Amino acid sequence: MLKVRAYPDPVLGRKAAAVRRIDKNLVRLVDEMFETMYTEKGVGLAAPQVGESIRLCVVNCTGKSDGEMVLVNPVIVESRGEATDEEGCLSVPGIRSKVTRAEWVKVRAYDLDGNELELEADGLEARAFQHELDHLNGRLFFELLNDAGRMTIRGRLKTLEERFTKQP
């Protein structure tokens, strides 16, 4: 299992580089990312969250093996509507907040065979895609909160920052 990086780890604030080659190392990383995501009880995981600053994420909102999605170099090409719901993040442990995102998205990406995919999603799946793509752009969910929302979690973020600086 991989170690999930926690805020304020610098890798989480960087824009990830494009994946240039799909090889056995990338396939192994994807397998380890799914294992880590399931162990940590998440529905998505982006490569920067495990210390790899590349444009790769895995998502499974169903919990079933046929719901697994691998997105290599994903981009949101279209979005519509607005929906507000509670979000958390494996890299921001213990903090959840209401976040407004697009209600529906169309994502273009590649799979592990190098085939281009175009996925349309709404609900939890649309939220997960947007959340994971934010990670690839160096953005965390709490950055989308208004001032009042940030004030409510400020103390818990400070605790995570202090914990990070005390790591060996």
- Cα torsion 156, 123, 19, 15 to 10°: value is -40
Q: Taking Cα atoms as reference points, which of 138, 41, 157, 6 lies closest to residue 96? A: 157
Q: What is the DSSP letter of 165?
A: H
Q: For residue 16, which amino acid is it?
A: A
| Rounded Cα gap, residues 142 and 157, in angstroms | 10
118 Cα distance to chain centroid: 18
Q: Which of 132, 143, 161, 162 is catalytic?
A: 132
Catalytic status, residue 132: yes
What lies within 8 Å, CB to CB, of 167 at 6+ separation is none
Q: List the beta bridge partners of residue 44.
A: 59
Dmax over CA atoms of the chain, in Å, equals 46
Q: Count Cβ atoms below 10 Å from residue 124 Cβ, excluding itself.
A: 14
**Catalytic residue positions?**
132
